[in-house]
Amino acid sequence: MTALDTGVPKAAPFTRLLAAEVRWVLRRPRTLVMLGLFALIPVLIAIGVRVADRQAGPGRGLIGAVAGNGLVLPVAAMTVALGLLLPLAVAMAAADAIAGEAAAGTLRGLLLAPVGRLRLVVVKASGVLVVAAAAVLALAVVGVLAGLLVVGGPPGQLVTLSGSTIGTTEALGRVTLVALWTVGQLAAVGAVALAVSAFTEHPLVVLAAVLGGLIIFGVLGAIPALDWLQPVLLTSGWTAGVDALRDPMPLDGLADATLRALWYLAAGAAVVVLRMLRRDA
């Protein structure tokens, strides 16, 4: 059956571990419910915009800009969700990834198999990233579809917030860019959430920490006297996705936020690795 006594056994194939993790993540009922709810967000916005009066247009806020301009919808949906719902979803995935496994007693099983501790971190981080990507994908794809089908708009183009129009291909490119950028921001949230997750076996602690952190960041960001804090607050650049709707598209907001996210990502990853190398199971 297996070469039981020939030398040091190799570890289980990495792709197999990854596939098992992704299957586990996507089989979890709460993940599926959550993805369903994210798919619902653009639909709800679309219906809301459709039902509301038709006089909307630029100058009536982001949601207002959706009216009669369907390709704005995915960007609007992602921007709205990034404020709270997407980080919450990622925090939930990160909570289940380590703290939840510890609580279920399955973390021990993985370490006993054994899955190397460093590999385990990579596998777990991948699982969280899959959830983040799936949620953003749901928002973007359903957003585009609902935008085109329910809201409609000038055929084959997108009216930017600056008043100019761009073609469908470029519009879809910009939606993709915002989606990728959003996943990047969520990766930072996920790394920090995983770091918390590595220290506890109570998934709720992770959710509370991330939610509390977001609220504190929001409050700090809203205090004018603390303007100097803005560059270090992860949340302060989170509306930059809207820049994709301007013409020409300013890139510094997106770039600044990405750089900030990278710092959080690095810090979170370092803490997760250091902690998981020592963690008792």
Nearest distance from residue 157's CB to another protein, in Å? 45
Is 20 a binding residue for another protein by CB under 8 A? The answer is yes
Closest CA to 279 of 127, 113, 102, 124: 102
d(CA 120, CA 114) in angstroms, rounded, equals 10
Select 16 or 252, whichever has its Cβ closest to another protein: 16
CB 74 within 8 A of CB 229: no
- Segment interacting with another protein, rule: CB under 8 A, options 113-121, 140-148, 157-165, 243-251: 113-121
Is 277 a binding residue for another protein by CB under 8 A? The answer is no
Q: Which residues, at least 6 apart from 63, have a Cβ–Cβ distance to it below 8 Å? A: 45, 48, 49, 76, 80
Is 161 a binding residue for another protein by CB under 8 A? The answer is no
Is 113 a binding residue for another protein by CB under 8 A? The answer is yes
Nearest distance from residue 27's CB to another protein, in Å? 7
d(CA 172, CA 149) in angstroms, rounded, equals 15
Is 27 a binding residue for another protein by CB under 8 A? The answer is yes
Tokens coding 275: 């902690």
- DSSP symbol at 248: S
Nearest distance from residue 180's CB to another protein, in Å? 29
d(CA 178, CA 155) in angstroms, rounded, equals 22
Is 199 a binding residue for another protein by CB under 8 A? The answer is no
Write out the residues near another protein by the rule CB under 8 A: 1-4, 8-13, 16-17, 19-20, 23-24, 27-29, 104-116, 278, 280-281
